[in-house]
C-alpha cells in the first residue's frame, strides 16, 4: 500500500458539509399522516485532510445517520456534502461509484458485518471486485495479503471463515476491508463499542497507526467521549440531531462550555478529585426526548440544570466563539463561572 506523502502545505477541506438536514417518515397507522423524525437539522462542518473528527452523543442523537450521509449511503433531504469541492449529495449511484473507493466505513459489530459464508480473503477483496474490477486476480490477492499484514492478521489466515476469529480479530478484518481500496476517508461507526475493554485500546492504537502510515482522514463516531478523545483532533457533540458544541479535543475535554458536553464528561473518569466533584454536579438526568416531538427552543432544556425561561422560547444559535462552536444562551456565563 502507498505510504502517506510528506507535505507541509496547509491541509485542505476533504469534506465540507453545509446546512445538512435528514428527516425520516415514520408510519403512525393506516389512516394517520406519517410522523417526521428529524434525525439531523442544519448541520455544517468541515473535515480537513489528515484530521480525525470525533462525533459524540447519546444513542438517537443522529451521529450514525450523519456518518451515512457523509458517505452518501443515505441521501440528505437538504444541504450539501462537498467532497474535494464537488457536491456529492444526491449524486446518482453510477456517478457516486467513482468516489466509493475513496470513502469507506468500519461498522460497529465486526462479526455481524462479515458474511459468514465468505473466507477472510474473499471478504477483504470484495470491495476490489466491485470498485476496481481492472485488477487481475494476482494483484487482488497480493493487495489482500499486504492489507492483512498492515492490520496485524497473518497471511495464512486468508482461507479461514469469520466464526474462527475473536471479536478483535474480526474487527481487524473489517478494517482491512475498509482499507483495501486505499481510501482517503474512513467513517468509523462505533468501531470498538462491541469489543472487550482490553481489546478496545489495541484497535484504537491500530487505527491511529494506520492513519499516520497511510495519511488517512477519519470520522470517528462513538457514544463514549473518552474513546473519541483518545483518537480525535476535534470533537463535535450532537444532541437530538443538532451540533451543540464543536472544539479541539483538548478544549472540549478540559473546558467544556455546553451543559450537555459537561454532562457527558461526568461519565469520564478524571484524576483531580475537586474537578471530579464539580463535574458530578452536571450529571445527565432523564431520558433523551423523542426526535419526533423535540422540546421547543433549546432541545436540551428538559435535562439542563442551567435552563432559563428564554431556553424554552428561543433556540440558541450555534455561535463561533473564536476557539469553538457552541449553541447555548448561557455559554459566556458558564465560561466565566469556569474561570472563577
Is 47 or 307 the residue whose CB approaches ligand SF4 more closely?
A: 307
Please tell me the distance from the alpha carbon of residue 284 to that of residue 277, in angstroms, as a whole number.
14
307 forms part of the interface with ligand SF4 (CB under 6 A):
yes
Binder among 300, 318, 324, 325 for ligand SF4 (CB under 6 A): 300
Is 140 or 330 the residue whose CB approaches ligand SF4 more closely?
A: 330
Q: Could you tell me the smallest distance in angstroms from the CB atom of residue 320 to ligand SF4?
A: 16
Q: Looking at 4-12, 89-97, 270-278, 307-315, which segment touches ligand SF4 (CB under 6 A)?
A: 307-315
Please tell me the distance from the alpha carbon of residue 191 to that of residue 205, in angstroms, as a whole number.
12
263 forms part of the interface with ligand SF4 (CB under 6 A):
no
Binder among 203, 316, 318, 324 for ligand SF4 (CB under 6 A): 316
Q: Could you tell me the smallest distance in angstroms from the CB atom of residue 295 to ligand SF4?
A: 9
16 forms part of the interface with ligand SF4 (CB under 6 A):
no
**DSSP per-residue string spanning 88-150:** -TT--HHHHHHHHTTEEEE-S-TTTTS-TTS-HHHHHHHHHHHH-TTS-HHHHHHHHHHHHHH
Please tell me the distance from the alpha carbon of residue 43 to that of residue 63, in angstroms, as a whole number.
11
User: Where do we find the cell 470520522?
Assistant: 219
Binder among 55, 89, 298, 325 for ligand SF4 (CB under 6 A): 298
Binder among 304, 318, 324, 325 for ligand SF4 (CB under 6 A): 304
Judge contact between 50 and 11, C-beta under 8 A: yes
CB burial of 313-327 (b: ≥16 within 10 Å; e: otherwise) equals eebbebeeeeebbbb
**DSSP per-residue string spanning 18-39:** EEEEEEEEE---TTSPPEEEEE
Sign of CA dihedral 150, 154, 159, 164: negative
Tell me, by CB under 6 A, how many residues bind ligand SF4: 13
Q: Looking at 54-62, 86-94, 173-181, 301-309, which segment touches ligand SF4 (CB under 6 A)?
A: 301-309
306 forms part of the interface with ligand SF4 (CB under 6 A):
yes
Q: Could you tell me the smallest distance in angstroms from the CB atom of residue 291 to ligand SF4?
A: 16
Judge contact between 255 and 278, C-beta under 8 A: no
89 forms part of the interface with ligand SF4 (CB under 6 A):
no
Is 216 or 326 the residue whose CB approaches ligand SF4 more closely?
A: 326
- CB proximity list for 141: less than 8 A, separation 6 or greater: 121, 125
Is 291 or 316 the residue whose CB approaches ligand SF4 more closely?
A: 316
Q: Could you tell me the smallest distance in angstroms from the CB atom of residue 250 to ligand SF4?
A: 22
Q: Could you tell me the smallest distance in angstroms from the CB atom of residue 22 to ligand SF4?
A: 22
Residues of this chain that interact with ligand SF4 (CB under 6 A) are: 259, 298, 300-301, 304, 306-308, 311, 316, 328-330
Amino acid at each position: 500500500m502507498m505510504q502517506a506523502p510528506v507535505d507541509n502545505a496547509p491541509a485542505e477541506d476533504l469534506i465540507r458539509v453545509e446546512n445538512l438536514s435528514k428527516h425520516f417518515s415514520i408510519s403512525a397507522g393506516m389512516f394517520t399522516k406519517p410522523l417526521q423524525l428529524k434525525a439531523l437539522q442544519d448541520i455544517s462542518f468541515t473535515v480537513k485532510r489528515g484530521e480525525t473528527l470525533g462525533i459524540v452523543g447519546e444513542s438517537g442523537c443522529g451521529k450514525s445517520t450523519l456518518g451515512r450521509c457523509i458517505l452518501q449511503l443515505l441521501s440528505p433531504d437538504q444541504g450539501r456534502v462537498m467532497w474535494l469541492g464537488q457536491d456529492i449529495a444526491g449524486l446518482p449511484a453510477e456517478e457516486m461509484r467513482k468516489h466509493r473507493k475513496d470513502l469507506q466505513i468500519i461498522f460497529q459489530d465486526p462479526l455481524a458485518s462479515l458474511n459468514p459464508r465468505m473466507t477472510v480473503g474473499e471478504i477483504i477483496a470484495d470491495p476490489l471486485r466491485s470498485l476496481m474490477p481492472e485488477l487481475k486476480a494476482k494483484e487482488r490477492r497480493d493487495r489482500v495479503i499486504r492489507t492483512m499484514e498492515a492490520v496485524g492478521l497473518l497471511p495464512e489466515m486468508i482461507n479461514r471463515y469469520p466464526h474462527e476469529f475473536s471479536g478483535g480479530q474480526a474487527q481487524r478484518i473489517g478494517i482491512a476491508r475498509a482499507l483495501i481500496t486505499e481510501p482517503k476517508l474512513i467513517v468509523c461507526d462505533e468501531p470498538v463499542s462491541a469489543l472487550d475493554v482490553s481489546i478496545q485500546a489495541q484497535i484504537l492504537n491500530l487505527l491511529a497507526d494506520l492513519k499516520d502510515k497511510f495519511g488517512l482522514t477519519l470520522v470517528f463516531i462513538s457514544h463514549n467521549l473518552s474513546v473519541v478523545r483518545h483518537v480525535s483532533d476535534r470533537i463535535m457533540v450532537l444532541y437530538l440531531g443538532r451540533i451543540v458544541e464543536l472544539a479541539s479535543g483538548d478544549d472540549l475535554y478540559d473546558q467544556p462550555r455546553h451543559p450537555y458536553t459537561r454532562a457527558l464528561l461526568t461519565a469520564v473518569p478524571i484524576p483531580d478529585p475537586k474537578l471530579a466533584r464539580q463535574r458530578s454536579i452536571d450529571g445527565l438526568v432523564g431520558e433523551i426526548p423523542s426526535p419526533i416531538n423535540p422540546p421547543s427552543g433549546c432541545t436540551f432544556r428538559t435535562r439542563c440544570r442551567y435552563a432559563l425561561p428564554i431556553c424554552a422560547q428561543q433556540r440558541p444559535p450555534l455561535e463561533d466563539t473564536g476557539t469553538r462552536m457552541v449553541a447555548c444562551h448561557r455559554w459566556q456565563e458558564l465560561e466565566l463561572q469556569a474561570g472563577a
